Amino acid sequence: MSRIFTISFASVYPHYVAKVEKKGRTQAELDQVIEWLTGFDDAALRDHLTAETTFEDFFAEARLNPNAGLITGVICGHRVEEIDDPLMQKIRYLDKLVDELAMGKAMEKVLRG
């Protein structure tokens, strides 16, 4: 079991925010990406942040977008579409979306529109 599974989503979220804001994107855009992937609206996301939900519990409660399988590419040296562990793959999907947002991709491409 990877250590990331037991880390609170709330402890990583500020790093996601800083990463996208540093590149001229907004927290609202980040939240939109998270909602697209997980199905969590703003209130549900804030509840998870307040409760300091672990990544394992965060994704256990998520309704993964049916188009999440369209997320491909390399993150942390691994192809996201080839990751065997389902939870790790979901975490890396999120990482990949945050990277794409920070790189300036159009929102419709990030959201696989």
pLDDT, tens only, 38-61? 999 999 999 999 999 999 999 999
- The domain spans of the chain are 3-107
pLDDT at 1: 65
Q: What percent of the chain has pLDDT over 70?
A: 99
Per-residue pLDDT in tens (0 to 9) along the chain, 113 residues: 689 999 999 999 999 999 999 999 999 999 999 999 999 999 999 999 999 999 999 999 999 999 999 999 999 899 999 999 999 999 999 999 999 999 999 999 999 98
Distance, in Å, from the CA atom of 29 to the CA atom of 27, rounded to the nearest integer, reads: 5
Torsion angle, alpha carbons of 11, 14, 18, 24, to 10: 140
**What's the rounded Cα separation, in Å, for the pair 83 and 71?**
12
Rounded distance, CA 83 to CA 64, Å? 16
As assigned by CATH, the class of the 3-107 domain is mainly alpha
Supply the pTM of this predicted model: 0.94
What is the chain's mean pLDDT, rounded?
96
